[in-house]
Structure 1
Amino acid sequence: MKRINTWLISTWAAIIGYFQFFPQDLNNLWQAMPDDIKASLPPYVAKGVAFALFCAMLIGRSVNTHKEKKVLEQKVEDTKDDAAA
């Protein structure tokens, strides 16, 4: 699961980086969107959504890593207690 998560974050970062260096492609993507969606969102939202999703993925990954670390620490504690008894 960690490898899939890392690949997804890396791919998303590459997409964001691509649109940073080639903003005309982001504009082309914006023009290809349906008019009803474009009418409800200002143009700068596309870039903001991309960064927000990227940050959410990073935060989610760190929370998941923190939970896994706590579980491993608990297992080590349990193992030490069993060995001492």
Structure 2
Amino acid sequence: DKYTTVHYSDGKTVLNDSLVDLERRFPDAFLRVHRNTLVAISRIRGLQKSSGGRNLLLLEGTDFQPEVSRRQLSAVRRFIKEQM
């Protein structure tokens, strides 16, 4: 069975939905940044390269910085350029 852990600024919960299900149901709310990560579009604040060369997403309200995959990097950059 597929499940998804959703992280909030003040906790987390587990849903019985896959990331694909969430992407399809809420296409304007989430952006895929990695094969195992969706982020809320409203929380995206920027992109930063780590000292190790990884591309990390900056999110409002949390210190969590998910890694952006090479496959998703151009889409994430395009989104940030258009929305910021």
Q: TM-score, normalised on structure 1?
A: 0.22
Normalized per residue, the structure richer in helix is 1
Q: Which has the larger radius of gyration?
A: 1
Ranked by relative contact order (alpha carbons within 8 Å, sequence separation 6 or more), the top structure is 1
